[in-house]
Amino acid sequence: MEDVLADIASLDRMGVSGRAAAAWIRTIEQASTRVRAPELVWSGPDVPGVHARHTERVFDEAIQSAECSLWVCTYAYFDGAQVFASLAERMDAVPDLEVTLLLNIQRQRADTTAADALVRRFADQFWSEDWPGTRRPA
């Protein structure tokens, strides 16, 4: 509270009236209540003492509730076409939905493939075998 009062006093010293400061604060408050906070979800196997949710359930809930944007980050996935089917369907159903995938590109031990070739190989396989949709995420 002291910080808020100090900031209001600072605005006053700059010539901002109390009414203008109040209107500004109300506007910021109204705008901030419309913005949903990002949700970080930890999922994976059951580990004693660690609260983790079932990955498939979390993934489906996130996809079905996404309206504006969705970032999906995973270290590993299996059965890509099946796993990403509901995401591709949601992207078709919500044309303005912006989706970003952050996927690990596994390099096998002793693999000396150039990084750009490794990425190209992964991308080619992902788009031809793992991604079931017509619209592509970033």
Residue 49, domain member (yes or no): no
* 123 lies in the same domain as 78: yes
CB 95 within 8 A of CB 64: no
Residue 47, domain member (yes or no): no
* 28 lies in the same domain as 60: no
* 68 lies in the same domain as 106: yes
* 65 lies in the same domain as 11: no
Residue 48, domain member (yes or no): no
Q: What pLDDT shows up at residue 115?
A: 94
Residue 122, domain member (yes or no): yes
* 125 lies in the same domain as 70: yes
* 8 lies in the same domain as 69: no
Confidence band of 2 (pLDDT split at 50, 70, 90) = confident
Question: Domain of 25?
Answer: 2-33
Nearest to 78 by CA among 129, 120, 39: 129
Distances (CA, A) of 72 to 69, 99, 101, 113: 10, 8, 5, 26
* 10 lies in the same domain as 72: no
In sequence order, the 6+-apart residues with CB closer than 8 A to the CB of 111 are 118
Residue 46, domain member (yes or no): no
* 83 lies in the same domain as 124: yes
* 79 lies in the same domain as 118: yes
* Burial of 59 from C-beta contacts in 10 A (0-12 / 13-18 / 19+): buried
- The DSSP 8-state label assigned to residue 82 in this structure reads H
Q: What pLDDT shows up at residue 26?
A: 86
- The 3-state DSSP class for residue 95 equals coil
Q: What pLDDT shows up at residue 54?
A: 79
Distances (CA, A) of 114 to 109, 118, 126: 14, 6, 18
- What are the tens digits of pLDDT across the range 90-123? 999 999 999 999 999 999 899 999 999 999 999 9
pTM: 0.65
**Number of folded domains in the chain?**
2
- What are the tens digits of pLDDT across the range 38-90? 777 777 777 788 777 777 888 899 899 999 999 998 888 889 999 999 999 99
* Lowest mean pLDDT, pick from 8-22, 103-117, 122-136: 8-22
* 12 lies in the same domain as 70: no
* 66 lies in the same domain as 114: yes
Q: What pLDDT shows up at residue 37?
A: 75
